[in-house]
Amino acid sequence: MSKDYNRSRVAELIRQLLVEIGEDTDREGLQRTPERVAKSFEYLTSGYRADMDTLINNALFEAATNNMIICRDIEVYSLCEHHMLPFYGRCHIGYIARKKVLGLSKLARIVDYYARRLQIQERLTAQVARRVMDLTGAEGVGVVMECKHLCMMMRGVEKQNSIMTTSSVLGSFHNDDPTRAEFMNLIAKPTP
């Protein structure tokens, strides 16, 4: 997949789309819409062009710990690959470090790296878990995402209160029931 983004080409495609759905691209409210949408999509799909090494920026630290490390309630915003409508919610990441810990903000950056592209929530959850595992060499990793999907809310079945929950558990979070239960209990606690 190309790392280049041709904003002017995307704007022209949006202009053509507006014409095809019956809009007048010369009317005041739409004159700059193609450029605004192209700029928006550049940001919303920036995960295709981002570099993981740059995002992590050497924020992987030696640490003599085997504690469970959890970051809860990381905001997630992505685009459903089936309808190109947003889905959004929160992500909880936990891992048991062996010798390396990741800078806390890097967990959110990993989520954004994969979320800023056309996605399905199931794949997004698994990609985040696998990347945390690969970067840290953790004993185990757990990722849970809870999201609302506009493709369910504003079209199709129009269900406003449905929330999709996905999980990906690797290593000890997969193989050890008490470890997985501890993670699930800790992320279920109310936010202080």
Exposure on the CB side of residue 82, measured as CA atoms within 13 A: 9
Q: What pLDDT does 2 receive? A: 53
Structural domain range at position 40: 7-44
CATH number at residue 111: 3.30.1130.10
Q: What pLDDT does 192 receive? A: 73
Count structural domains, the chain.
Answer: 2
Shared-domain flag, residues 93 and 142: yes
Examine residue 64 and state whether it is found in any structural domain, yes or no.
yes
Q: What pLDDT does 63 receive? A: 87
Examine residue 94 and state whether it is found in any structural domain, yes or no.
yes
**Exposed/middle/buried for 174, CB within 10 Å: 0-12, 13-18, 19+?**
middle
Distance CA 141, CA 121 (A): 17
**Exposed/middle/buried for 64, CB within 10 Å: 0-12, 13-18, 19+?**
exposed
Q: What pLDDT does 9 receive? A: 97
Shared-domain flag, residues 55 and 40: no
Q: Are 49 and 5 in contact (CB under 8 A)?
A: yes
Examine residue 131 and state whether it is found in any structural domain, yes or no.
yes
Torsion angle in degrees (nearest 10) through CA of 47, 50, 55, 57: 160
- Residue 79 CA: distances (Å) to CA of 41, 76, 119: 10, 10, 6
Shared-domain flag, residues 19 and 84: no
Shared-domain flag, residues 97 and 130: yes
Shared-domain flag, residues 55 and 85: yes
pTM assigned to the model: 0.94
Q: Are 173 and 142 in contact (CB under 8 A)?
A: yes
Query: 10-residue block means of pLDDT along the chain (192 residues)?
Result: 84 98 97 98 97 95 88 98 97 95 97 98 98 96 98 93 97 97 93 73
Exposure on the CB side of residue 148, measured as CA atoms within 13 A: 9
